[in-house]
Amino acid sequence: MMLLRLYAWFSRFGGTVGRGFNPGFLVAGCSLQCYKLHSDSSVHQPQPIVCCFTIRSEKRRMTDSSLPPLIQQMLQPEFYPHAVQATPPSSAEGAYVEYPEDFYPPSQSPVQLIQTHLSYILLTGEYAYKLKKPVNFGFVDYSTLEKRQHFCQEELRLNQRAAAELYLEVLPITQTGDRFELNGSGEVVEYAVKMRQFPQDTLLAALFDQGRLTPELVQELARVVAEFHRQTVTNDYIRSFGEVAQVRQAFDENFEQTAQYIGGPQTQQQFDETQAYCNRFFAEQQDLFQQRMQQDRIRECHGDLHLRNIAYWNGKLLLFDCIEFNEPFRFVDVMYDVAYIVMDLEARQRPDLSALFLNTYVEQTGDWEGLQVLPIYVSRQTYVRAKVTSFLLNDPAVPEAEKQIAHDTAALYYRLAWDYAQPRQGRIFLMCGLSGSGKSTTARQLAQRLNAVHIRSDAVRKHLGGIPLDQRGDDALYTPEMTQKTYGRLLDLGIQLAKQGYTVILDAKYDRHTLRTAAMVQAKSAALPLQILHCTAPLEVLQQRLQTRTGDIADATTDLLAQQSLDPFTADELPLVHTIDTTQDLEPQLQSVITQTVKHQPVKA
């Protein structure tokens, strides 16, 4: 009996396998994060649990004779030109599947083998060797030696972009007589990707479970992903994968493959409304998809960027296990990658970390427009998780008790996917106050509480000026003309995103009455609620904060305070103003703001 810890190995294939494909075949080699549902909650909030499904096979324990001769020899320590030492299964490539008892070979052997439907992975202590199986599943074709060499090289190339410490080289395996050798002088019969092993507890999913995925690390992850996307390539061919017809194919197949689960883990209403949302989005947002292509946002991305494919090892975040075997899986919108992390954090009931990651990412990239397309991708990734879990319900080898867990887990993800399809009332918060008054700190906390978009004028200004965020701007960045452009773009983004249903926090001084009035007029025209959060602190506190400010993108200094003033609020503005004393505890001061916002959210069925 082989025990698999379930966690989205199959998620990369979701919605893109060919018709007639038997999903149960891959499910036996995949994994899905499972949750239990609070029985006393109508919201069905997920709570992570350790969940093992039992997948039975005819051979309960693999024997030497059942393995190819090459793999048999690779299980021997003397095969390798370096020392071999027995270790527990590493989280190096392929080890998202855990084998607590049927891990092969027995624990006394220093070389350990992991199999997926696509690969053999041999763990030798310091290094791991991955060989691709000669299979053809349609969406992946490793059927010839030339193809396996090509995809080994592709795996190395793609993963060295963000995990060069792990992906070392591709080695030929040669044969002389009945003996195989790494990088030998005989006939080349196979290829292996040589990787460095690393501890499984360095995966971000493990750090989360241990309570060690800190806000600081989440922000650093956002910066790493932003830089990774900046360095990825694009061209006309890659951009063509952003066409609506290309993108929606996977969505349509998802619905075809999950109609059978209506009345089971998903309701007819959830199915109909989620499908209608996707159809409507693709019909109404064709210009948006064209803009994404024109803005070079369709790139050679990661393609499977969930928390078990990211490690924090030796003080560095590593993005590994990119999709190498299928172009449509990685030639995607950058928001497709981002959606995996957003989904993972929100499914784990940490929308605060999701908001922190997302706001840091878009601030780094300046891709606030990408938030318009993000919901369709988050819905897609979530729906795929639901679909893959549902496949277990069709497997006669899965016991009823485990099917019930799969049913509840799938129901959770179907509900989350449906939740993203629901209309939301967008709204706008204007931060207001002098430099150093605590606007950004307050806005950041509010954004994490409300899962809101937080846009700082400092970031908008520097992106408009073509200046790196960590570089100080010169006088040309702060001319009246540039200030006008900055506030104009800030408001355009706010209205645009709020009309899409986002809560948006516009973080700027908004010291002039004309600037606040412009925002109020546009918000009213778009039927968007607007509040003004006026941050205050004594002058000496403002000066001290500016003197000690480090590591922030804002350029304001203490000498600017003497030149700053705030236009008094007019009678029209006063009903919208909530004053916050940032020298006091922010939590109770924000609570009334949060309560008012929650009260105005639409009630979900």
What is the separation, in whole angstroms, between the first and last Cα of the chain? 42
Look up residue 389 and give its two tokens: 């879990």
Give yes or no for residue 148 having a pLDDT over 70.
yes
Strand-pairing partners, residue 37, are: 46
Using the 8-state DSSP alphabet, how is residue 141 labeled? B
* pLDDT classification of 557: cutoffs 50, 70, 90: confident
Rg (CA), the chain: 26
* pLDDT classification of 397: cutoffs 50, 70, 90: confident
Q: If one looks up domain 427-599 in CATH, what number appears?
A: 3.40.50.300
Strand-pairing partners, residue 505, are: 429, 454
Between CA 119 and CA 292 the distance in angstroms is 35
**pLDDT for res 601:** 55
Q: What is the DSSP string of 64-79?
A: GGGS-HHHHHHTSGGG
Which of 9-13, 234-238, 472-476 bottoms out in mean pLDDT, i.e. has the lowest? 9-13
Asked if residue 28 lies in contact with residue 15, where contact means CB atoms within 8 angstroms, the answer is: no
Asked if residue 123 lies in contact with residue 112, where contact means CB atoms within 8 angstroms, the answer is: yes
Strand-pairing partners, residue 187, are: 175
pLDDT tens readout for residues 328-379: 999 999 999 999 999 999 999 999 999 999 999 999 999 999 999 999 999 9
pLDDT tens readout for residues 189-221: 999 999 999 998 999 999 999 999 999 999 999
Residue type present at position 269: Q
Between CA 307 and CA 309 the distance in angstroms is 5
Asked if residue 84 lies in contact with residue 101, where contact means CB atoms within 8 angstroms, the answer is: no
| Whether the bond into 105 is cis, omega within 30 of 0 | yes
- Closest Cα partner for 266 from 379, 410, 109? 410
CB within 8 A of 105, min separation 6: which ones? 64, 75, 111, 112, 113
Residue type present at position 540: E
Give yes or no for residue 49 having a pLDDT over 70.
no
Between CA 337 and CA 342 the distance in angstroms is 9
Which of 45-49, 232-236, 568-572 bottoms out in mean pLDDT, i.e. has the lowest? 45-49
* pLDDT classification of 596: cutoffs 50, 70, 90: confident
Phi and psi at 250, nearest 5°, equal -65, -35
Higher pLDDT, 234 or 563: 234
What stretch of H or E contains 123? strand 119-123
Which of 6-15, 312-321, 485-494, 562-571 bottoms out in mean pLDDT, i.e. has the lowest? 6-15
Give yes or no for residue 288 having a pLDDT over 80.
yes
Q: What is the DSSP string of 467-483?
A: --TTS---GGGGSHHHH
Asked if residue 92 lies in contact with residue 311, where contact means CB atoms within 8 angstroms, the answer is: no
Look up residue 421 and give its two tokens: 């399809």
Phi and psi at 104, nearest 5°, equal -115, 140
Which whole number is the average pLDDT over 433-447? 95
* pLDDT classification of 88: cutoffs 50, 70, 90: low
* pLDDT classification of 599: cutoffs 50, 70, 90: low
**pLDDT for res 186:** 93
User: What does each C-alpha distance from 48 to 29, 35, 216, 419, 471 come to in angstroms?
Assistant: 21, 5, 23, 20, 42
Q: Which residue has the tokens 């199915």?
A: 271
Give yes or no for residue 38 having a pLDDT over 70.
no
Between CA 30 and CA 49 the distance in angstroms is 17
| Domain 204-398+416-420 coded CATH 3.90.1200 | yes
**pLDDT for res 289:** 98
Asked if residue 457 lies in contact with residue 519, where contact means CB atoms within 8 angstroms, the answer is: no
Asked if residue 158 lies in contact with residue 322, where contact means CB atoms within 8 angstroms, the answer is: yes
Asked if residue 431 lies in contact with residue 491, where contact means CB atoms within 8 angstroms, the answer is: no
Burial environment of residue 292 by CB neighbours within 10 A (0 to 12, 13 to 18, 19 or more): buried
Give yes or no for residue 552 having a pLDDT over 90.
no
Domain ranges (residues) in the chain = 2-199, 204-398+416-420, 427-599
Tell how strand 127-132 and strand 187-196 pair up.
antiparallel
HSE at residue 337, side-chain half, CA atoms within 13 A, is 33
**pLDDT for res 96:** 34
The model's pTM is 0.86
Secondary structure E strands in 277-398: 298-300, 310-313, 316-319, 331-333
pLDDT tens readout for residues 473-489: 998 999 999 999 999 99
**pLDDT for res 595:** 83
Between CA 539 and CA 558 the distance in angstroms is 10
* pLDDT classification of 521: cutoffs 50, 70, 90: very high
Phi and psi at 123, nearest 5°, equal -105, 125
Asked if residue 595 lies in contact with residue 587, where contact means CB atoms within 8 angstroms, the answer is: no
pLDDT tens readout for residues 52-64: 332 333 333 445 6
Tell how strand 119-123 and strand 46-48 pair up.
unpaired
